[in-house]
Amino acid sequence: MSEATWLLPRILRAEVKLTTSMGVALDKRERESLVPRNTSTLGIVAVLFRCADRQVDGRWLIADPNDYWGEITEAGLHISKEDLLRAECGQPSLREIREYVRTNWKAFLQAFREPALAGLEPLKKELSRLHIDGALRSRLPTYQVLDLDHRKTVSAIISAHGESVAGQIFQALFSYLLASAGYRSVTINTVGVPDVELGEPNGERVGYILGPFSQDEVSRLHSYCEAASDQRMAKQIAAVLEGKSPSENLG
Amino acid sequence: MLDMARSEHKRWRLKAITLRGFRGVSGEQTLRFDGFPAILHGNNGTGKSTFSIGLYWVLYGRMPEYVLENKSPDKFLLSVASKEDGYYGEVVFQRDCNEAVFRRDSESKEFTLKLDGKVHKDEKAEAKRDEMLGLDMLTFVRAVLLQQSRIRGLLLDEPKERNQALDRLLGMEPLDVLGDLAKPKEFETAAVAWREKIENERLGLKTEEDLLTKQREDAQEHARELKFLNKDFNPEGLNSAVTALGRALQDTGKKYDVELAPLPKAATVAEADKVCKLAADGIKKIRRDCQLQTRLAPVRVKLTTLNTAKGNLKSAMDQVSDAMLKLKAHTKKHGDAKEQAKRRAELEAKRLAAEEELKAANSLKKLLSDALAFVASREQRQCPVCEQTPPPGTDLAVALKRRVKSLASETVAAKEKAVEEANQRFQDSIKILEQTGLLEKAVSKEREWLDRCRKEAIKAMEAREVPEHKLTSRLDEAISGLEGKEQEIENGLKAMEVDLAAVELKERNIKDGLIPVLKKRDEIADLETRAKRLEKMHEKDEQKAAKMKQIAADIDRIRKAILEAKGELADRSLKRAGPRAQELYEILTRHPLFDTLKIRPTRLKNKVEYSFQVSASGQSGSEREARLVLSDGQMTAAAMGLTYALAETTEHGLDLLYVDDPTQNLDLPSKEAMAKTIAELARRKQIVVATQDEDFVNYLKSEGVPELATFHHFREWDGQPNVESSGIGMKA
């Protein structure tokens, strides 16, 4: 399993969905739960498809619902497969998190195939124990998991437990997959919103998602402002880099 | 009148046409118009049409439409009466005091326009021409140079052909050409083909994947029979199995004192194959180099030596015993050598004695025989041997004879037999003695061999000295000891074979069970890689398909726009020309019932169709398809009216209408009506009419056209037209 190269937001919130149709609905409450309170929080929606489309089946499609796309109604947001695929092209700030999930998801599912087939509780217990021990990664196979086997595993889990329970199983797997990138705290809300909240990032890979820019890019922007003697802008950017409001450094 | 005839000089009028070496003009000839209307009349073949063809050729460098395209222009346009290679034409237009001179030369291929004192050449001249005349070639043919051949289509029965004829009259050819070009279907087909390609390739991949999946399942099933588990069916499982094989091989090697290099790791099929080969080599090495095998060889060698020694010894002993038994039996029968020698001496003496006796008997016999011979010769009464007188009555000779005979048959024979027997016995005794010698020699030889075998056995036992009587038992002991040792080693080897068989089984199971599964897995992985690559290509293909689809949609929009434009243009032209067409229809056709002409375009999905209808004073319900109710002549007149109306209402820079043979197919009243029309036209624009119809000319004259126009009478043709001109132009 590769190390997370992306900057972990301090809090990562996610609505995690499994669908056998061509889209999912995100109600108002769910959508609102993903609205970031500050620059160090990230809200995403992750959808796992199994809709007889080999191009997306078994893949997590991840998007930021706060960046407008799809069809918004009073009831909430209807997100189609095409919306998500478009969002993948149009939300570069999530590029790294998507890459992390894409690189590790097949191996992660393969590693926890047996407990996942056994049921939600055994799986959660196993994931939680390994997460606490910091041993999630040690379980991952070193070989390349075949797409064919991966799709079969997804189908097998859905067949074994039904779509509803399978949805929770995949929710747990997705949560701990992201947690394995470096989050100590994993909260899975079976009733409330959002579905998943990850916090307490460890290590130094903690950063912010600033629109389309990574923290490194914002740092470069900061240095350019300084070089250009735009001190006001430099101070504002420095505040953002410190996790504060841009105006805080202006006194 | 002159001013009237020259009115509308805001636009260009034809001043003159000059031709040289051109079709019906062999030399050079100029036909002057000077901006006036003109009537070119005369019999067929006098060169009238040469000037309309010349006008068209000079302006546009083309032949008339009715000449086949594949004909060489030279063949058609060269003077029919001269042998010159080139032809030339000049057309002069005038407007107020200005002149525009167009020249075209077939030899120099040069086209020039002299305008405002400036000479324009070729493309520039063409551009200037179009700008000056305000029309293109098609419009010129449609609105200036009117030929009845263009309306023939309207008389045809096929609606499609009538539509085409109307298209031509309305100048829709360019739009039709564009419409023909705007075909979306090819692009739609291309889009479908791209998508079919994608689908086919996806289907191909799916089929291949299904096949590989099935093959992998079969391989997995077989592997499960060999005790492999699902978790083993991946590179990690393969490596574990290979590691276990390596461990088992190492343990076995260690157990049998064979040092083996550890087997490498194997995460791929190729590596696993290699490891299996190494394992097989390792197994061979254990078999070959194990201590048991090392120990077994000398034991077997020694055992062989001892068994050979034992065998030899036994054989030698048997042979000695046999020889001795034979000697014993011989001596038992014939006594020992001493006795045999003694006996031999006795028998020799007896033989000698017998021989002496025989010798004596033979001597006697000879004596008696000699005596008998003597007696027989001398009749002696006294025995010459004993010198005694035989008893009386005895015949000496007979007695002697009897005596000799007796000696020969009995005594000598007995003596001879005795000698022979003595001799035989003597010879036998010699043989027996010799046989005894041989037997003794054989015994001696066997004893020597036995002695050697004994020494060999002692040597084989690696002993210094063994008493002879213990030799066999000691040999047996040694052999038995070694056989025990051999058995022990063989048991060890059997146990090793069991161990090696277990390792071999592991190796074979990997080779026959796990590797095929992993091979299929690799093939599926390759397929997935290929599929991903293909998907990227499919994205491009999909873009191409979308582009094709978009182009098809665009073309369809263009096609619809062309149709729309065509419909609109036709509608506008027909509306503009409508009143004049109606006016001319009434004048030229004079139909007692259907007095109203209406031509309307109708836009259908893929084309514009025209309704060419007549009705009784425009009353609804009285409309009829003109072709169905008008005669050919009436139809021609109606079409001519429409043609003139369209030509008149087309805007361009020429105030000229050049009409070739307008009375074809018309009856006399129609001709008269046509003459009135021409006269009416000649009053307000320059109209040039070419006709062979002298009735029509007379009608024109009676309509006062000579006051309005120049009459060029083409009287005859003698290599070039012989023209007699009269009328207003001549007066001017």
B653-698 pLDDT, tens digit per residue, is 999 999 988 888 888 888 999 999 999 999 989 999 999 999 999 9
- Predicted local distance difference test score (pLDDT) of residue B524: 95
The residue type at B512 = D
Render B306-371 in DSSP notation, one character per residue: HHHHHHHHHHHHHHHHHHHHHHHHHHHHH--HHHHHHHHHHHHHHHHHHHHHHHHHHHHHHHHHHH
Judged against a pLDDT cut of 80, whether residue A93 lies above it is answered with no
Asked whether the predicted pLDDT for residue B381 surpasses 90, the reply is no
DSSP B511: I
Residue indicated by tokens 């700008």: B131
Å from A185 to nearest chain B CA? 31
The chain B residue lying nearest A142, using CA atoms, is B236
Q: What is the DSSP string of chain A?
A: -PPP-SPBPSEEEEEEEEESSSEEEEEHHHHHHTS-SSTTEEEEEEEEE-SS-TTTTTPEEEE-TTS--SEE-SSEEEEEHHHHHHHHHH-GGGHHHHHHHHHHHHHHHHHTHHHHHH-HHHHHHHHHHHHHTT-TGGGS-SSPPPHHHHHHHHHHHHHHHHHHHHHHHHHHHHHHHHHTTTEEEEEE-SSSSSSEEEEEE-SS-B---BTTB-HHHHHHHHHHHHHTT-HHHHHHHHHHHTTS-TTGGG-
For residue range B501-530, list pLDDT tens digits in order.
Answer: 999 999 999 999 999 999 999 999 999 999
> Which of A141, A143, A146 is facing B524, going by the closest CB pair?
A146
Cα distance between residue B6 and residue B14, in whole Å: 11
Instruction: Mutation target for B interface from A53, A147, A152: give the one with most B CBs within 10 A.
Output: A147
Cα B506 to Cα B517: distance, rounded to the nearest angstrom: 16
Q: Mean per-residue pLDDT for A132-146?
A: 91
Q: Are the C-beta atoms of residues A204 and A210 closer than 8 Å to each other?
A: no
Lowest mean pLDDT among A88-102, B218-232, B310-324, B540-554: A88-102
Q: What is the pLDDT of residue A226?
A: 92
Q: What is the C-alpha separation between B228 and B239, in angstroms, rounded?
A: 13
Q: For residue B200, name the pLDDT band (cuts at 50, 70, 90).
A: very high
* Residues 250-279 of chain B whose Cβ lies under 8 A from any Cβ of chain A: 267
Which chain B residues are closer than 8 Å to A55 by Cβ?
535
Are the beta carbons of A208 and A218 closer than 8 angstroms? Answer: yes
Chain B window 589-608: which residues touch A at a Cβ cutoff of 8 Å? none
Between B246 and B617, the more confident residue is: B246
The string of pLDDT tens digits covering residues B466-500 is 888 888 899 899 999 999 999 999 999 999 999 99
Sheet holding A11-19, edge to edge: A60-63, A41-49, A11-19, A196-201, A183-188
How many percent of chain B have pLDDT more than 70? 96
Q: Cβ contacts (< 8 Å) between A54 and chain B: which residues?
A: 202
What's the confidence (pLDDT) of residue B618? 77
* Residues on chain A touching B209 (C-beta within 8 angstroms): 148
Strands (E), B670-720: 686-691, 710-717
B524 close contact with A: CB closer than 8 A:
yes
pLDDT at B731: 63
Residues of B in contact with A146 (CB under 8 A): 521, 524-525, 528
Whole-number Å distance between alpha carbons of A198 and A200 = 7
Per-residue pLDDT for A18 more than 70? yes
- Return the residue of B nearest to A53 by Cα: B202
Indicate whether B56 pLDDT > 70. Answer: yes
Q: How confident is the model at residue A206 (pLDDT cuts 50, 70, 90)?
A: low
In chain B, residues with a C-beta closer than 8 Å to the C-beta of A141 are 234, 236
Tell whether B501 is within 8 A of chain A (Cβ): no
Report which of B149, B146, B144, B120 is spatially closest to residue B134, judged by C-alpha positions. B144
Q: What is the pLDDT of residue A210?
A: 57
**What integer pLDDT is reported at residue B699 of this predicted model?**
94
Query: For residue B59, what pLDDT band results from cuts at 50, 70 and 90?
Result: very high
pTM over 0.95: no
Question: Looking at residue A251, what is its pLDDT?
Answer: 63
Contact across the interface for B521 and A141, Cβ inside 8 Å: no
For residues A210 and A216, what is the distance between their CA atoms, to the nearest angstrom? 10
How far is it, in rounded angstroms, from Cα A27 to Cα B166? Answer: 64
**B424 touches A at CB < 8 Å:** no
Q: Note whether B528 contacts A147, CB cutoff 8 Å.
A: yes
Please tell me which of the candidates A54, A55, A142 has its beta carbon nearest to residue B236.
A142
Q: Which residue of A has its CA nearest to B202?
A: A54
Q: Would strands A76-80 and A23-27 be described as parallel, antiparallel, or unpaired?
A: antiparallel
Q: What is the mean pLDDT of residues A27-38?
A: 83
pLDDT, mean of residues B411-427: 89
Residues B641-658, buried b or exposed e (16+ Cβ, 10 A)? Answer: bbbbbbbbbbebbbbbbb
Contacts of residue B521 in chain A, CB cutoff 8 Å?
146
**Please, which pLDDT band fits residue B715 given cuts at 50, 70 and 90?**
very high
- What average pLDDT does this structure show over B635-646? 89
Cβ proximity of B286 and B260 under 8 Å: yes
B542 touches chain A (CB under 8 A): no
Q: Around Cβ A239, how many Cβ atoms within 10 Å? A: 17
Phi, psi of A189, deg, nearest 5 = -90, 110
User: What is the separation, in whole angstroms, between the first and last Cα of chain A?
Assistant: 45
Q: A203 falls in which pLDDT band (50, 70, 90)? A: low
Which residue is it, tokens 């609109």? B568
Instruction: Please name the member of A55, A143, A144 whose beta carbon is closest to the beta carbon of B535.
Output: A55
Q: Which residues of B664-688 are buried (b: 16+ CB within 10 A; e: fewer)?
A: bbbeeebbbbbbbbbbebbbebbbb
- Does residue B218 surpass a pLDDT of 50? yes
Query: Is the ipTM of this structure higher than 0.90?
Result: no
Sequence-separated (6 or more) residues with CB below 8 Å from residue B341: B433
Across B126-165, where does the E strand assignment appear?
A: 145-147
Q: Please compute the mean of the pLDDT values over residues A156-170 and round it to a whole number.
A: 95
Measured distance CA(B535)–CA(B589) in Å, rounded: 71
CB-CB neighbors (< 8 A) of A88 in chain B: none
Shortest distance, CA B279 to any CA of chain A (angstroms): 24
B242 neighbourhood in chain A, CB within 8 Å: none
Q: Give residue A209's pLDDT.
A: 53
Residue of chain A nearest B520, judged by CA positions: A146
Q: Per-residue confidence at A5, pLDDT binned at 50, 70, 90?
A: low
pLDDT at B8: 46
**Which run of H or of E encompasses B17?**
strand B13-22
Asked if A143's CB is within 8 angstroms of B267's CB, the reply is: yes
Question: Are B521 and A55 in contact (CB < 8 Å)?
Answer: no
Query: For B243-254, what is the mean pLDDT?
Result: 94
Q: What is the pLDDT of residue A189?
A: 87
Q: Are the beta carbons of A148 and B213 separated by less than 8 Å?
A: yes
Which residue has 């009749």 as its token pair? B379
Smallest Cα distance from A178 to chain B, Å: 25
Q: Which of residues 143-202 of B touch A (CB under 8 A)?
A: 202
Q: Above 80 in pLDDT, residue B273?
A: yes
User: Whole-angstrom Cα distance, residue B138 to residue B180?
Assistant: 18
In B, residues 230-249, which contact A (CB 8 Å cutoff)? 234-236
Q: Residue B5 — pLDDT band, cuts 50, 70, 90?
A: very low
Range of A161-170, B283-292, B449-458 with top mean pLDDT: A161-170
B-chain residues near A142 (CB < 8 A): 235-236, 267
Average pLDDT over residues A87-111: 87
- What average pLDDT score do residues B374-390 get? 71
Percent of chain B with pLDDT over 90: 57
Which amino acid is present at B155?
L
Distance from B235 to chain A by nearest Cα, in Å? 6
User: Residue B150 has which token pair?
Assistant: 């263009």
Task: State the pLDDT confidence band at A87, using cuts at 50, 70 and 90.
Answer: confident
Which one of B526, B528, B541 would you mutate to disrupt binding with A, by most A Cβ within 10 Å of its Cβ?
Answer: B528
